[in-house]
Chains A and B, each alone.
Chain A
Amino acid sequence: MFRTRGKWISRILGLSLAVAASSTLAQSGDEWVTYGGDYANTRYSTLTQINSKNASKLRVAWIRSLGSLESQESTPLVIGDTMYVTTSSGPKYVFALNAKDGSIKWKYEPELPRDYMATVCCGLDNRGVAYANGRVFVTRLDAKMVALDAATGKELWSVTVRDYKKGHAITSPPLIVKDLVVTGVAGGEYGIRGSVQAYKQSTGEMVWQTYTIPGPGEPGFDSWKGDSWKTGGGSTWYVGSYDPKLNQVYWSTSNAGPWGGHTRGNDSSDLGPYTNLHTSSQIAFDGDTGKILWTYQMTPADVWDYDGVNEGVLADLSIGGQKVPALMRADRNGFFYILNRENGKLVSAEPFVHVNWAKGIDKTTGRPIEDPSKRPQLNKWARNVCPNLFGGKNWEPMSYSMQTGLVYIPSFNLCMDIAGKNEEYEAGKFYLASEFDLDQADAGGYLAELMAWDPVKQQRVWGIKEDLPILGGAMSTAGGVMFYGNTRGILKAVDAKTGDVLWKFSVGTGILQSPITYMIDGKQYLAVVAGRSKGPPSFLGKMGQRVIDASPEGGILTVFELGN
């Protein structure tokens, strides 16, 4: 399904087809219509022309310089025969390219205030655009969102989502929900109060805005000590998912702010009422009104920067003979969660990496069973905490294959020391109240692993170990292949069942984002962006230096086709 051949069909029906497709938790078809491939964020493609038998014949079809030097984290969209790809630094550019040969149809070069960089925490990234009904929606590091005419790149409207001078930024593409375009906001390291907001696609008029941290009188307000809710973080810097049948929008929330927790609660594993809702949580919003329908908090009273923004991947799983409408999340805190997405109830949660800060998840309360010695306190170090704040998995997306039933997770094998520190809040300033040492490998002699995970059995099936941290995301196909890249810029095609590496190619610098695939005129392509990550390695000390050394500056989009 969702295989539009003609441009006119896709222009007229683009959105409705996408939504129709996602109503059955759709896969992407010939096009790649949204960040996660579909509104379930599966990054699973139904295309089979490139498959496990011929992936070794992949060769470069065309290359394009992206023209910016920071980390490249864009997932290109392909609508009809046009590819929309963003670059880092603002974005510096949004390109509309002929997806067959890379020639430029138009470029959008936004004017950003030059001082926006000082209020972006962790790299000048942009993860791509959203598309619906002939419009391209671009979010920016100065916390604006603009709509462009998809045919010309002309700006149709622009809105200020939040104030960048107070530490807000937008790094990820918005989500299409019927006639709305919905965006989150970054700033969990600047003492912001997170929110999700929806605008009319046609005019940019705001329809709803919901804060992730309850205000006075709202349920959950009592979970904050004093005025700490005002600077409590809970940002929404990654992407949402959407279930059109339930009309539920799923967004995940970041760490509580500041990282040090003594101002937000008891500064102890005995949390009392101070769980700091709804930080490090999964939230379901009503698509029309933004009303919060349910929440589930993965990490109550977070002090580890277990920034819970990782994407919710939607799938209907058969568990114990029953069909479960699942939301899957490989959380920063090291646990793989399956929630019932209708109501937010916990189905299962097991560690997918080495976890020592909690002994497990209490299945009745849904809460982690903490090891108190691993909770940092004011001026008191917690040593050798695993995973570290990069998490069991960071934002780099996982993929769920409907063919194998496996989830492919880019994971980390890192630990840390961390302590709370006193610090005063000032608007627009970094606000961590924490000191940390992240330069610690966990046991096993590797720093990252692309693992295949069985979500029903909650167990690891196979893994490919990597000697440097920070992996690119994963994409799987009905051709039985899983694709991912690493920090050294090696793109790999892997047998999705066995984990055997079928093909490798060096694209020249580090890969952070997952590849995409699409088909035009009967020919399947594979595309991936690459560039040096500058922000996250800065946290990692010597290990970060190795990451930087392995990935030269530059922005490259490489597109592959099958050779003879």
Chain B
Amino acid sequence: MVGSRFGVVFALSAALAALLYVQAGIAAAEEPNQSKRVVNPFEGRADLVDEGRSLFNQYCSHCHGPNAQQGERPRDLRRLKLRYGDDAPEVFYTTINNGRLELGMPVWKGVLSEDVMWRIFTFLETQQATP
């Protein structure tokens, strides 16, 4: 009995969630900011990868692992694309600049220039995991 009541509640919750999801989708489609997507200005620049790797190892490797090799999943930046898809550059840029203090990520704005940040990202793009 208890189980079936939970079943009803679950079904209603799922329906409500689906409705909200549809509405959220409509709202997102109406957002005018799609053209302002953050992009890596050095995208595809193979000549910057080694320098990016070195900068990554200097500034990031103590938490994210040398050469981005990291066993602790939430810190594994080889999974940025898997996790965030096309938003990966924006999430990367926002997280470095603003930090995620409650997760241990400091604010690097003012320490790392945008130039350095994107060189690091250019290296990370060569390290992305596949599913």
Contact = CB atoms under 8 A, between A and B. Distances in A.
A and B are interacting partners:
yes
Interface of A: 114-115, 117-122, 124, 189, 421, 423-424, 426, 428-430, 432, 434-439, 534-535, 537-542, 544-549
A542 B70 CA distance: 7
Interface of B: 54, 57-59, 61-67, 69-72, 75, 99, 101-108, 110-111
10 A-B pairs closest in CB distance: A548-B71, A545-B71, A115-B101, A117-B104, A118-B106, A541-B69, A541-B66, A114-B102, A435-B58, A118-B101
A174 B77 CA distance: 37
A475 to B, nearest CB: 28
Given A421-B58, A426-B110, A545 B66 contact: no
Nearest to B59: A430
A548 B101 contact: no
B111 A438 contact: no
A548 B62 contact: no
A438 B67 CA distance: 11
A437 B57 contact: yes
Contact of A538 (B70, B99, B102): B70
5 contacts: A120-B104, A434-B58, A538-B61, A538-B75, A539-B62
A428 B65 contact: no
A430 B106 contact: yes
A426 B111 contact: yes
A544 B102 contact: no
Given A118-B105, A426-B110, A547 B71 contact: yes
Given A429-B111, A538-B64, A545 B57 contact: no
Contacts of B102: 114-115, 117
B70 A544 contact: yes
Nearest to A537: B71
Nearest to B56: A435
B83 to A, nearest CB: 18
A120 B75 CA distance: 15
Contacts of A434: 58
Contacts, number: 83
A318 B70 CA distance: 47
Contact of B104 (A118, A435, A537, A546): A118
A186 to B, nearest CB: 14
A432 B62 contact: yes
Given A534-B72, A538-B75, A436 B66 contact: yes
A121 B62 contact: yes
A538 B65 contact: yes
Given A430-B62, A541-B66, A435 B57 contact: yes
Nearest to A547: B71
A373 B74 CA distance: 38
B105 to A, nearest CB: 6
B56 to A, nearest CB: 9
Contact of A539 (B58, B66, B99, B111): B66
Given A424-B111, A429-B111, A118 B99 contact: yes
A435 B101 contact: no
Contacts of A424: 111
B127 to A, nearest CB: 12
Contacts of A114: 101-102
Which of B58, B61, B67, B71 has the most A CB atoms < 10 Å from its CB?
B71
A92 to B, nearest CB: 14
A539 B102 CA distance: 21
A86 B108 CA distance: 32
Nearest to A422: B58
A470 B97 CA distance: 33
Contacts of B64: 538
A423 B58 contact: yes
A120 B104 CA distance: 8
Contacts of A547: 71
A100 to B, nearest CB: 36
A539 B61 contact: yes
A544 B106 contact: no
A163 B75 CA distance: 26
A504 B110 CA distance: 51
B49 to A, nearest CB: 16
Contact of A545 (B63, B70, B99, B103): B70
A429 B65 CA distance: 18
Contacts of A189: 62
A437 B63 CA distance: 13
A546 B70 CA distance: 10
A232 to B, nearest CB: 19
B62 A438 contact: no
Contacts of A432: 58, 62
Contact of B71 (A115, A124, A438, A549): A549
A291 B83 CA distance: 54
A538 B72 contact: yes
Contacts of A124: 104
A545 B78 CA distance: 13
A126 to B, nearest CB: 15
A127 B28 CA distance: 48
Given A421-B58, A538-B64, 15 more contacts: A115-B101, A117-B102, A118-B101, A120-B104, A426-B111, A429-B111, A435-B57, A439-B66, A537-B71, A538-B65, A541-B67, A542-B69, A544-B69, A544-B71, A545-B71
